[in-house]
Structure 1
Amino acid sequence: MLIDAAGTMPRCYALVPCAGIGARSGAAGPKQYEPVAGSAMVAHTLAALAQVSRLAATLVVLSPEDTLFDAAVPGFAGERAWVERCGGATRAETVANGLAALRERGAQPHDWVLVHDAARCLIRPEWVDRLIDACMDDEVGGLLALPVADTLKAEDDGRVAHTVDRSGKWAAQTPQMFRLGLLAPALAHAGAAVTDEASAVEALGHAPKLVRGEWENFKLTWPGDFQLAERLLATKEA
């Protein structure tokens, strides 16, 4: 395990980018505030992260114009619950701004940051612990992901162009866990178009570790996803 020059052990922080509008979901407003099983989607996400004892804190990064979070997640408070209204125009910018906020709050380069989508509201504490266990002593870090099971088709103007070989391909999930001192320059190098943290780290020549996730840890994106999440949450709580 990497220990810094002062002899301190690395801490783990969760960072939840929550500044998007979720245009594909069909919701009237930002999808992270859409109700799922009686609570805002992001409230389920944050409740699960709060149960991970090894997280020193969870930082939620909101848009500067956000006026909905406080009412949607009224119980998000305390020494391990942080909010910053410094979100950017893209996910990458929002995460980069969140990393800067973590540094201002005392996070060090050797500390781990677990970036998790607000829209993956079915995340379970044990899955986060699985990622931490797999990556804590890793040189690079890694992410939850699933091997692709479906046959993949490449599209051209609404028709199949060809079938893509699915062997060795994984679908990326979150959290994605990297050291602050690696992730910040990786995002700066990759630019605003990067869609996940692992891609930015890969662009610097590193190979993030793939840690098997669960299919229930899907990202609520399309209207039907909300109905499925409702059913799964109802089953979990039954």
Structure 2
Amino acid sequence: MFALDNEQLLQHESKGFTLTKESVNDLQLYSEQTDTLNVMFDLGSNYDIIIDKNVYETLLKRQTPRMYTNYRREGLTDTIAEFHDITVFCNGIAIPDCTLSYIPSIDRNVAGNIFAGKINFILANGDLYIKQRTDSALQVIQDGLPSLGLRLNVRNNTICVTALEINGPAEKAGLMLGDKVIAIDKGAIESDIMSVSSGRLEPYIRQAKSFTLEIERNGERKIFVIMRKRISI
């Protein structure tokens, strides 16, 4: 990011980038599945690309989404549709392996910080300078629900199950939204707020082929074993 009065430095640093003027609130993307897609560029959004209902209905004609329920807060649960492995083009630059998510309670087109991490960019006032990112770090940028079909996050200062894939491994094992997490793999990784905020917990779940989860539900403790291919309790 550059100060508005630092034009000389901006010109130097933006060599090799393509300019998309006044595109922070109206960034034009394109894909074979969606045609033109205008999004708002929002670094505060912890998603790849969020889409509105119109784009969702267009995608639904061409691809079957992965569906999961998401516990946002008490009394508010979304059913989210994820479309994976979509290559999006921005100003002629290809951004592969994008995840487009339809979240009914948001229902607007937003490119979030995961999308931003897939490109090199310079933000200058309302303009974006964009360049293809090719370094190895690009390979570890992921969005969407882990393959075990659940997400753990903080709600009311407690780690709990906040997302479940419909008919996915975790739901079939018997887990429910809002289950409070007591232990993960018998303490192999901490099940506390710091583990979530530091970013350690989600990679652990993404890389696991299976893991054991001890939870509390309605005052009763239960233990579940979640596996990618077969489920046991």
TM-score, normalised by the number of residues in structure 2: 0.24
User: Which of the pair has the greater relative contact order for Cα pairs under 8 Å at 6+ separation?
Assistant: 1
TM-score, length basis structure 1: 0.23
Q: Higher strand share goes to which structure?
A: 2
Larger Rg: 2
